[in-house]
Structure 1
Amino acid sequence: MKLETTPTGFTISLNGHAILRHTALTPAFYVGHGDERMAMYRGNFDIEDYVIERSALRYAVVDGDTVTLCEREGQPTRLVVKLTDTALEFSAEDPSINRFWMRVVADHDEHVWGGGEQMSYFDMRGRRFPLWTSEPGVGRDKTSEITFKSNVEGKAGGDYYNTNYPQPTYISSHRYALHVETSAYSVFDFRRKTFHEIEAWAVPERIELYAAATFVELVEILSARFGRQPQLPEWIYNGAIIGLKDGTNSFTRLEKMKEAGVKVSGLWCEDWVGLRHTSFGARLFWDWQANEERYPGLRERISQLHDEGVRFLGYVNPYLCVDGPLFEEAEKAGYFAKDEFGRTALVDFGEFDCGVVDFTNSAAADWFADSVIGGKMLDYGLSGWMADFGEYLPIDVELANGVDAKLMHNQWPTLWAEVNAKAVASRGKTGEALFFMRAGYTGVQKHCPLLWGGDQSVDFSRHDGLVTVICAALSAGLLGNAYHHSDIGGYTSLFGNVRTPELLMRWAEMAAFTPVMRSHEGNRPRDNVQIDQDPEVLAHFARMTGIYVHMAPYLKALSAEAAAKGLPVQRPLFLHYEHDRNTYGIQDSYLYGSDVLVAPIWQAAQSERAVYLPEGSSWTHVWSGEQYSGGNEVTVASPLGEPPVFYRSDSPFAGRFAELRTL
């Protein structure tokens, strides 16, 4: 990084590319004071800001690698910026400052990607993205009926920018990355042609900048910065993780699926802890130990499955219901976050209340990792679990570390991931036990071995359906999250919206070309078609699991590459074809490693699809064997069971890919 004075201010450049240009007329920095209003309702947030002051810091003094800024000459310094090799470090002389803005040089044809796990828009250019972990919303489209109804009923409709996993990091098509080191509410605004504006509701500790000659190198740098995941467990390659929450009948249904040819690596039973029934549907009993009434002899069943090559997975989140035995244990030990009166803070999770385990209290974090996850899950025989609800930290609780909950809220998913990872490591099972999370923030990559895309609607909708998990995988993957997957068939069924056999089959087709295949019955299983209820769906699913298993040697190679270099399994086309700018805006197809291109069918009643093949390679259509030259858009037939998939004709795995035609 280089700081240069100019006749009217200063310029900061990275590898010769201007990042900041400051003049008195066009200042790069603004500071001020604001008064926010935040209201949380079951993980959804209503947020407003009243900006009391926004002052342009027009006057700058450069002294070596330090810039001091104020509004006008002779006035007190308000912000100090110090350059290091990779960052701008900030200190505010005025303690009243709680708003910060920085303008980054932009070009009219620039593309930007990242922002954590974005569901609606992969290329963020032209839009404003608040970065705050929350429920992503139902529908996520203000023009849709389901979003409107969800907003009216529970403030749960969401918008295009709502996400479980935000992260204040982006990659520019100029081959640099910018990361804001803060846990405060922040905003990336990419709506202006000549600048990007970074906003934070606190002065950031620093803003990190990284540059590389290629996008691949840049992703490697970011994955080294934020953390890399271990290779996938060996057992995962045996097939799909089957999600059932049907008590002991889950084992019977699993056997019937296996008899139908389904390749199985795991049985995932969320309801291993028991159920409670609410107006939303059947909910889990939030006390994290086996419910022997719903699953008699579960420990023995788990052992039997293991002997058959099938692992058992469960569910956990960082909250404890008031009517469960673990609540009393945690409360007596003082492990819960407090309210303003010093009492255990209780949160309404939809017709039941819970305490918030305070992970800023090291004793509470250790207890949850060792006694709950370690003692009641891993020692019981579980090989994995969904680690849910990291985005739910209330903003009005008192925490043991004394930090404002508004500043801890974004950081909470990373603390939650760390607790899970610590539990796994304590039993020597890192790389063997597999937990998966939907919530995240900066640093979650270091601890969480697998992301999942959250709670999509059970439909083909543009902002909350199948296509959104592609965007999610690509955006998160650029920031060091190598492994991503989703609920096959979606999860949320509300207001009469139910999934069709077609949706379930199309989702399974995509999942066969992702790191992990995992099914889910959804929030209302009886209202929605299940894999084992329809003979056509079951046969189709069995074939897709066979395809997944057939691709295992290739996936193992990608997993090894992810552990060594941090490259994601699902990759945007431009990652390996950066010379082809036609790839920069594509978000509904992806590279599976460097050798396979997958373009899932994500719209209903579609029997063919146009696919852009990147320039520079010859591509072979998996199902027909026909070859196509890159740099062209081709249309291929896509009946059920033959999603548009292509491979590089010169791939060392070409023989294995060609064998897919025989499966």
Structure 2
Amino acid sequence: MDRRQGGVALKLGMDLWYCAAIWLIASSITLVGVAGAAPSLEMEDGRPVLVLPLHGQPDKALRIGDLFFQTASGRIILNGLKTGSGSDPAAVWVARIDGRNVQLSVEQRDRDYVLRLSAEPNSGIVGWGLAIEARPDEYITGLMERVVDGPQQASWAPGIRQAMDLRGQKVEMILKPTTSVYAPFYISSAGYATFVDGTWPGLYDFCASHPDRIRIEFEGPVFQMKIYTDKDPMAMVQRHAMDAGPPVLPPRWVFSPWRWRDEHRHRKAYYDGTPVTGPFNSEVMEDVLMMKAFGIPCGVYWVDRPYGPGRLGYDDFEIDPNRLPNFGQMVRWLNSLGMQMVLWIGPFFQGQMEKEALAKGYNLPGQRPMKNNYPLCDFTNPQARAYWQQGLAKLVMLGVAGFKLDRAEEDIPDGGPFNVFDGRSLRQQRNAYPVMYLQAAYELVRQYRGDDFVLMPRAAYTGSARYGVFWGGDIGGTQEGLRACIIAVQRSAVMGYPFWGSDTCGYNQQLLEQEVCARWLAFSCFCPIMEVGPTRNVGFWNLPREPSYDVELIAIWRLYARLHQRLADYSYQQAVLAHKTGMPVVRPVFLVDPNAKEAWANWWSYMYGPDILVSPIWQKGQRTQQVYLPKGQRWQYAWDQQQVYDGGQAVTVEAQLYQIPFFIRVGASLPIGDLDDEYRQSKAIAANRPDLKALEAEVNEWFGKAR
């Protein structure tokens, strides 16, 4: 077995796969007629093929073969399966293979199935696998937020062509930094979806090795997979979201605009040279006062690391008073302005807590000492978990209303002879680690704040949606980075993560190009989480390029932040629906109009709730956009209300730099307003530089009264 970190433990041995396990099926048609509505096992060329009827499609079925398990000796094919004793609604087939009693069971659950592969004894079994026949035009999506597997920067490589459809790709089901929202769930245009239970790593091969086979294999002594079947892909997305969740219901203020910087420094002067005399961190005050002067709403302000003492600025969950003076009063000041404070955290110990954690064995076994992300907490150890939570509680008691949870998929050991406290191997807990980290934070913060808080992790796996909202990792700040985010928000929605946002203008490669930032601000408006930052730790008023004071970007930020704020009630209504039913907020068009080929092809457009169709532009220089409008409704172009179109067709509309193409469902009542007029007002306001000395006087007055 190959135990290299970040790899998949099953060594595929593709030559062996083809020589010993490939089907010899003449027809390439995936879905064929079957008699009856019960699962059945057929033999083709001496090999078993499981046939599962598809709900609502009486003439079609899913065909699954190439069943095998893996030991140190190699791959063993499940031949000789015969009907065994099972209890309704389960069908069971058994065989004596390799000295083991091997069992394939299929349980029907309404329109879905639960497939299970097991053996007794199972010692020495390190993995299982199967293959599903794929039709030539089958479209597959889900699994991960990144566009393609491999190094994250491949997802925003110049000239990238891959988009929502995963066909032709291989995907390792193991979390990788830093675009790290994953779920072992995919949906197919063929009327089914699959969801693999558990946390063991795995591998999906979507017709990459063989043009008519989807291969699924996972590590572990047993294998269980739920297969959803339905003509309506939205129904399958919802059922999975509820099986893996339900998604958390964030407080309403989460759907207001956010602002942050990556590293806050306390300076002696503001960007324009005005001396700082206020009581709080200068960059926090600068952001808040400038936004207030421009009329840019903000409901969440977050401070990233470093904010504490120590080498990494994260010792003992303490606040560094030199960097963030009067922190407790600053939180109350922000609250008085309608803003909540969010802080960065990591799953490791620093400072005195590091020494004590190592002495008591609270660290994750197998992790070598390193300068960062060390020592990681073993969240399966109740005492280690409680110790880490004690540190977190200090920040909550200062009034912090939420946390950005970083690093849960970075430098996590996943090989060797080590087990975590609860007995699982490092390999088995690798994908589970972000969920345990998130749950530990959730349970602690809820003790103090009830439901009035938010947790936003970078990494996610099955179960994460119950506790947090998500952001798209350290995305590249290029036009292709924006493209990747347009795909990521939709993939996340399909996977059961309805609340997602991205670092507006990017995190890596922060070029801060005016056109890319303008388009990104517009896109972020139509994401559940609109977070603007880190923008290279400066504002749009002191950019490290010309124009340094960017009137255009300030105006566009104001335009879309105000629209996002006006839509907060609408967004929250969709959040309630997501929590209760699994219905995502962002809805790829094929989920609402699955019978239209254009809906599957028009990957750059999506629904934001039931009443808004948005089609972000990501390419520089583009001023028109082709948009497919879902049938069954009439659609009004938001920028020209005289343009009203019937659904079921693709239209081309014009969109200047400040305009994102979006449509309103005719009959909907939404507070959109006259956006062209608001843009003109925003440019006029942005052209006048605020007087920071006068604005800061209000802060000093507040602080004097609050002391």
1:250 paired to 2:283: yes
Report the alpha carbon displacement of residue 250 of structure 1 after superposing the two structures with TM: 2.0
User: CA-to-partner distance for each residue in 1:218-241, whole Å, 9 max, x for gaps?
Assistant: 222112101123433222344333
State the alpha-carbon separation in 2 of the partners of residues 241 and 79 from structure 1: 56
- Aligned partner of 1:421 in structure 2 is 442
For residues 615 and 230 of structure 1, do their structure 2 counterparts lie closer, same or farther at Cα, with a shift above 3 Å needed? same
- Aligned partner of 2:50 in structure 1 is 11
Where in structure 2 are the equivalents of 1:223-302 lying within 5 Å?
Answer: 223-243=241-261, 245-247=263-265, 248-253=281-286, 254-271=288-305, 273-274=307-308, 284-285=313-314, 287-302=316-331
Q: 2:599 aligns with which of 583, 602, 606?
A: 583
Report the alpha carbon displacement of residue 648 of structure 1 after superposing the two structures with TM: 1.6
- Aligned partner of 2:81 in structure 1 is 60
Question: Given residue 365 of structure 2, which amino acid in structure 1 is its aligned partner?
Answer: K
1:405 paired to 2:426: yes
Q: 2:139 aligns with which of 111, 116, 120?
A: 111
State the alpha-carbon separation in 2 of the partners of residues 311 and 228 from structure 1: 25
Question: Given residue 311 of structure 1, which amino acid in structure 2 is its aligned partner?
Answer: Q
Any idea what SS the aligned residue of 2:375 has? strand
Any idea what SS the aligned residue of 2:570 has? helix
CA contact (8 A) 2:380 2:421 kept: yes
1:507 paired to 2:507: no
Where in structure 2 are the equivalents of 1:294-333 lying within 5 Å?
Answer: 294-321=323-350, 324-333=351-360
Q: 1:91 aligns with which of 118, 126, 130?
A: 118
- Aligned partner of 1:125 in structure 2 is 167
Q: 1:646 aligns with which of 659, 663, 666?
A: 663
- Aligned partner of 1:656 in structure 2 is 671
Question: Given residue 505 of structure 1, which amino acid in structure 2 is its aligned partner?
Answer: A
- Whose radius of gyration is greater, 1 or 2? 2
Q: 2:102 aligns with which of 64, 67, 79?
A: 79
1:594 paired to 2:633: no
Report the alpha carbon displacement of residue 606 of structure 1 after superposing the two structures with TM: 2.0
User: CA-to-partner distance for each residue in 1:153-190, whole Å, 9 max, x for gaps?
Assistant: xxxxxxxxxx5122221112233221111322211111
Report the alpha carbon displacement of residue 304 of structure 1 after superposing the two structures with TM: 1.5
State the alpha-carbon separation in 2 of the partners of residues 337 and 5 from structure 1: 45
Any idea what SS the aligned residue of 2:180 has? coil
State the alpha-carbon separation in 2 of the partners of residues 104 and 528 from structure 1: 52
Where in structure 2 are the equivalents of 1:333-412 lying within 5 Å?
Answer: 333-339=360-366, 345-348=367-370, 351-352=371-372, 354-369=374-389, 371-373=390-392, 375-392=393-410, 393-396=412-415, 398-412=419-433
State the alpha-carbon separation in 2 of the partners of residues 484 and 361 from structure 1: 30
- Aligned partner of 1:170 in structure 2 is 186
1:196 paired to 2:199: no
State the alpha-carbon separation in 1 of the partners of residues 586 and 610 from structure 2: 9
User: CA-to-partner distance for each residue in 1:428-454, whole Å, 9 max, x for gaps?
Assistant: 432x21111120111111222x11111
State the alpha-carbon separation in 2 of the partners of residues 531 and 180 from structure 1: 51
- Aligned partner of 1:184 in structure 2 is 200
1:520 paired to 2:558: no
Question: Given residue 542 of structure 1, which amino acid in structure 2 is its aligned partner?
Answer: R
CA contact (8 A) 1:572 1:586 kept: no
State the alpha-carbon separation in 1 of the partners of residues 545 and 405 from structure 2: 25
User: CA-to-partner distance for each residue in 1:400-456, whole Å, 9 max, x for gaps?
Assistant: 1232111111111111111121122222432x21111120111111222x1111111
Where in structure 2 are the equivalents of 1:420-499 lying within 5 Å?
Answer: 420-430=441-451, 432-448=452-468, 450-461=469-480, 465-493=481-509, 498-499=511-512
For residues 205 and 31 of structure 1, do their structure 2 counterparts lie closer, same or farther at Cα, with a shift above 3 Å needed? closer
State the alpha-carbon separation in 2 of the partners of residues 588 and 177 from structure 1: 22
Any idea what SS the aligned residue of 1:368 has? helix
Report the alpha carbon displacement of residue 457 of structure 1 after superposing the two structures with TM: 0.8
User: CA-to-partner distance for each residue in 1:469-512, whole Å, 9 max, x for gaps?
Assistant: 1211211212321111111111013xxx6221222221111111
For residues 528 and 13 of structure 1, do their structure 2 counterparts lie closer, same or farther at Cα, with a shift above 3 Å needed? farther
Report the alpha carbon displacement of residue 398 of structure 1 after superposing the two structures with TM: 4.4
CA contact (8 A) 1:532 1:538 kept: no
The two structures have a TM-score, normalised by structure 2, of 0.78
- Aligned partner of 1:44 in structure 2 is none
The CA RMSD over aligned residues, in Å, is: 2.6
Q: 1:555 aligns with which of 571, 575, 580?
A: 571
Question: Given residue 335 of structure 2, which amino acid in structure 1 is its aligned partner?
Answer: H
User: CA-to-partner distance for each residue in 1:47-68, whole Å, 9 max, x for gaps?
Assistant: xxxxx62233232112242212
CA contact (8 A) 1:83 1:89 kept: yes
Question: Given residue 620 of structure 1, which amino acid in structure 2 is its aligned partner?
Answer: Q
Any idea what SS the aligned residue of 1:584 has? helix
Any idea what SS the aligned residue of 1:355 has? coil
State the alpha-carbon separation in 2 of the partners of residues 347 and 398 from structure 1: 18
CA contact (8 A) 2:406 2:458 kept: yes
With 516-525 and 295-304 compared, the bigger mean Cα shift is at 516-525
CA contact (8 A) 1:134 1:391 kept: yes
- Aligned partner of 1:43 in structure 2 is none
For residues 237 and 125 of structure 1, do their structure 2 counterparts lie closer, same or farther at Cα, with a shift above 3 Å needed? closer
1:30 paired to 2:68: yes
Any idea what SS the aligned residue of 1:656 has? coil
Report the alpha carbon displacement of residue 368 of structure 1 after superposing the two structures with TM: 2.1
- Aligned partner of 1:147 in structure 2 is none
For structure 1, the 5+ residue unaligned runs are 22-26, 35-51, 137-162, 278-282, 340-344
Any idea what SS the aligned residue of 2:238 has? helix
Any idea what SS the aligned residue of 2:234 has? helix
The two structures have a TM-score, normalised by structure 1, of 0.82
Any idea what SS the aligned residue of 1:82 has? strand
For residues 483 and 607 of structure 1, do their structure 2 counterparts lie closer, same or farther at Cα, with a shift above 3 Å needed? same
- Aligned partner of 2:21 in structure 1 is none
State the alpha-carbon separation in 1 of the partners of residues 561 and 615 from structure 2: 18
For residues 101 and 128 of structure 1, do their structure 2 counterparts lie closer, same or farther at Cα, with a shift above 3 Å needed? same
Report the alpha carbon displacement of residue 595 of structure 1 after superposing the two structures with TM: 1.6
For structure 2, the 5+ residue unaligned runs are 1-36, 86-90, 149-162, 266-280, 679-707
State the alpha-carbon separation in 2 of the partners of residues 356 and 337 from structure 1: 5
State the alpha-carbon separation in 2 of the partners of residues 316 and 548 from structure 1: 27
% of aligned pairs identical?
Answer: 23
Question: Given residue 618 of structure 1, which amino acid in structure 2 is its aligned partner?
Answer: R
For residues 406 and 6 of structure 1, do their structure 2 counterparts lie closer, same or farther at Cα, with a shift above 3 Å needed? closer
CA contact (8 A) 1:257 1:538 kept: no
CA contact (8 A) 1:57 1:70 kept: no
User: CA-to-partner distance for each residue in 1:620-642, whole Å, 9 max, x for gaps?
Assistant: 11111212233333222221221
For residues 135 and 558 of structure 1, do their structure 2 counterparts lie closer, same or farther at Cα, with a shift above 3 Å needed? same
For residues 471 and 353 of structure 1, do their structure 2 counterparts lie closer, same or farther at Cα, with a shift above 3 Å needed? closer
CA contact (8 A) 1:336 1:355 kept: yes
User: CA-to-partner distance for each residue in 1:320-345, whole Å, 9 max, x for gaps?
Assistant: 23xx2321232344321234xxxxx4
State the alpha-carbon separation in 1 of the partners of residues 546 and 428 from structure 2: 41
Any idea what SS the aligned residue of 1:549 has? helix
Any idea what SS the aligned residue of 2:409 has? coil
1:630 paired to 2:630: no
**How many residues are paired up?**
586
For residues 319 and 633 of structure 1, do their structure 2 counterparts lie closer, same or farther at Cα, with a shift above 3 Å needed? same
For residues 79 and 546 of structure 1, do their structure 2 counterparts lie closer, same or farther at Cα, with a shift above 3 Å needed? same
CA contact (8 A) 2:592 2:630 kept: no
For residues 504 and 288 of structure 1, do their structure 2 counterparts lie closer, same or farther at Cα, with a shift above 3 Å needed? farther
State the alpha-carbon separation in 2 of the partners of residues 531 and 261 from structure 1: 21
CA contact (8 A) 1:313 1:382 kept: yes
State the alpha-carbon separation in 2 of the partners of residues 205 and 422 from structure 1: 30
- Aligned partner of 1:20 in structure 2 is 63
